Amino acid sequence: QLQLQESGPGLVKPSETLSLTCTVSGGSISSSSYYWGWIRQPPGKGLEWIGNIYYSGSTYYNPSLKSRVTISVDTSKNQFSLRLSSVTAADTAVYYCARRLGLPGGFDYWGQGTLVTVSS
């Protein structure tokens, strides 16, 4: 059974960089069939797609976040990571990692999510 688990600091100061890692177990992140993605949900708001990465390192980002987002992959550790720079309170959210069934496909496996709060 595939499992994804987000990890990282739960509190980040304004203007700093948010960093999260998603560890994949029960399957290989290097499978050619899947992409890997980050999605977030601010408190009381809807879901927002952040970006996707392929095991080769190809990335696709939400245009509204593109200038601040970097997603990377470490196939040796079966992990992929999110970095979001210059954070503000508006970046406070539950962050989810997920597996995607190809680039146009849906997300089929999700992590439990991790709350990141931006506050001084």
Partner 1 sequence: QTVVTQEPSFSVSPGGTVTLTCGLSSDSVSTSYYASWYQLTPGQAPRTLIYSTNTRSSGVPDRFSGSILGNKAALTITGAQADDESDYYCVLYMGSGISIFGGGTKLTVL
Interface residues toward partner 1, by CB under 8 A? 39, 41, 46-49, 52, 60, 62-63, 96, 98, 101, 103-113
Nearer to partner 1, 12 or 100 (CB): 100
Distance separating alpha carbons of residues 111 and 92, to the nearest angstrom: 18
Counting runs of H as helices and runs of E as strands, what totals does the chain give? 0, 11
Q: Nearest-CA neighbor of 60 among 34, 35, 29, 85?
A: 35
Nearer to partner 1, 15 or 64 (CB): 64
**How many other C-beta atoms are found inside a 10 Å radius of the C-beta of residue 76?**
8
At its nearest, how many Å lie between partner 1 and the CB of residue 66?
10
Of the pair 75, 112, the CB lying nearest partner 1 is at 112
- At closest approach, how far in Å is the CB of 60 from partner 1? 3
